[in-house]
Structure 1
């Protein structure tokens, strides 16, 4: 009996050591909510090659551009192949207005629950306060429908939403016209700055609205001119340490690497992922 007790105790100790070792290993793995926007990799061959590059750069999550011209079956096959999951998808306003059921079906099939309206063409872009309020109400209507499917609608800004009407940016006017639960924000900090606003101050003014943030930097005129003057976060003009602290403080859930026109996409996303892993 005593020998059996000693054996059981030894097994218990060994299991305990194994559990501690496993826990230590797990804690060293990337667990932060970091993703890459696939628009960054649009010029890298096929979607297969793009996902492979995202995987090799250390990403576990991606933000899609629409359906990437794939069926949900093929999307799931590639996601599984490269050990990736979809945290959000960019979908144009016209698609949300005319094919919402199709959008919902595709994104449910790939287990995505965040839909982001990424861009307003100049032909449909509001030019006054009333227009931005009307857009907010339209997005609220769409967001309410998505909410019934346990999905979230968000809006991605550029610089033109920083124009002010009666002391409020167009972005704020639009979001205030919608219910907070129906329309969230994916803040692009670099574009906020290019629009003349402070990303840190904007994050705090819109606390509760911002659920994701696009992570890239402005380089200024004269550097990276052939890359639309964008660069990797932490290598440009923005105070990314302050931005990240504020983003976490106001409840931002996802940090999404993006670059509008990278000459070397592999290097850009690898460096950006490393920056976030070290600074989040």
Structure 2
């Protein structure tokens, strides 16, 4: 079953009253106008590159996750991924498995279950407890959508702080994953600034989707330096060289696009980023599995200075 590109839920419970709407799975191509500390336990750096361990957002393989999530995990381990970032699909956060069974499978395959994108507006305390038992480091809000007023982003920031408190109580962290809309001006400010300035660094971290920063016309390195220590995770996703400015559906195999990842990830490491997570959403001339394999080879060979 294919996921629809626009699937939103109206928030209840955690979210303050307002017009905020959220989806319930990972970073779909729905943008503003569309869409253990990298533990070395399972992860030695490639002899060719020097980035170190890296992961994959399983949304990259969403069509295959629908069919056989266990096979997907086996495949990504074969390709050389050492970490995985899960997402909450129509089969739930644990893909019709018990959370302990999911963790056991990852352990068996040598995969560190770093994080999951999830619907943070429903049953979040239960999800946080299960994620902690499964050994996750993060639960991540994948999307909040463009808002009509900056006050909406301030209310969202308050909700993120609440989620961060719940995560902290359970021994993990909460983070927000950006799209392009948070880098587009609203009422003379940028929502990304407002969210970063109105969330407690002790409770909320940020996952930089580098593709979406570039798509918005912003500079990832400048944003990394502006908020050192706040960006703990990233989505490493390339952008087709022939893509029109601000084109959103332009994902491609790493190394075949226009984003120069060496200096970006060098800076990311310098300012405290811990997790480098591959994502690809479009597969022109390829397949999801073949693309994931090629992306892994790029990451193994990637050389960053320092």
Aligned partner of 1:109 among 122, 133, 136: 133
Q: In structure 2, what is the equivalent of residue 53 of structure 1?
A: 75
Q: Which has the larger radius of gyration?
A: 1
Cα distance change, pair 183–165 in 1 and its aligned pair in 2 (3 A): same
1:157 aligns to 2:178 (yes or no): yes
Q: TM-score, normalised by structure 2?
A: 0.74
Deviation at 1:220, TM superposition (A): 4.5
8 A Cα contact 2:128 2:166, kept in partner: no
Deviation string, structure 1 residues 84-134 (Cα, Å, up to 9, x no partner): 120111112323xxx1221122112211121111112x5xx4222111111
Q: In structure 1, what is the equivalent of residue 148 of structure 2?
A: 127
Cα distance change, pair 186–220 in 1 and its aligned pair in 2 (3 A): same
8 A Cα contact 1:47 1:68, kept in partner: no
Deviation string, structure 1 residues 50-98 (Cα, Å, up to 9, x no partner): 1111111111211011324221133133213322120111112323xxx
Q: In structure 2, what is the equivalent of residue 79 of structure 1?
A: 106
8 A Cα contact 1:42 1:50, kept in partner: no
Aligned partner of 1:243 among 264, 268, 284: 264
Aligned partner of 2:274 among 244, 253, 264: 253
* Higher helix proportion (structure 1 or 2): 1
Deviation at 1:31, TM superposition (A): 8.7
Structure 1: runs of 5 or more not aligned: 1-25
Paired positions, count? 246
- Secondary structure at the residue paired with 1:94? coil
Aligned partner of 1:180 among 178, 182, 201: 201
Deviation at 1:42, TM superposition (A): 1.2
8 A Cα contact 2:46 2:300, kept in partner: no
Cα distance change, pair 106–197 in 1 and its aligned pair in 2 (3 A): same
Structure 2: runs of 5 or more not aligned: 1-43
Cα distance change, pair 250–163 in 1 and its aligned pair in 2 (3 A): same
- Secondary structure at the residue paired with 1:86? strand
Cα distance change, pair 37–113 in 1 and its aligned pair in 2 (3 A): same
Query: Highest relative contact order (Cα 8 Å, sep 6+), 1 or 2?
Result: 2
Cα distance change, pair 93–126 in 1 and its aligned pair in 2 (3 A): farther
- Secondary structure at the residue paired with 1:43? helix
Q: In structure 2, what is the equivalent of residue 33 of structure 1?
A: 53
Cα distance change, pair 58–192 in 1 and its aligned pair in 2 (3 A): same
Cα distance change, pair 115–222 in 1 and its aligned pair in 2 (3 A): closer
- Secondary structure at the residue paired with 2:63? coil
- How many angstroms apart in 1 are the aligned matches of 2:98 and 2:173? 22
- Secondary structure at the residue paired with 2:258? coil
- How many angstroms apart in 2 are the aligned matches of 1:229 and 1:40? 14
8 A Cα contact 2:252 2:281, kept in partner: no
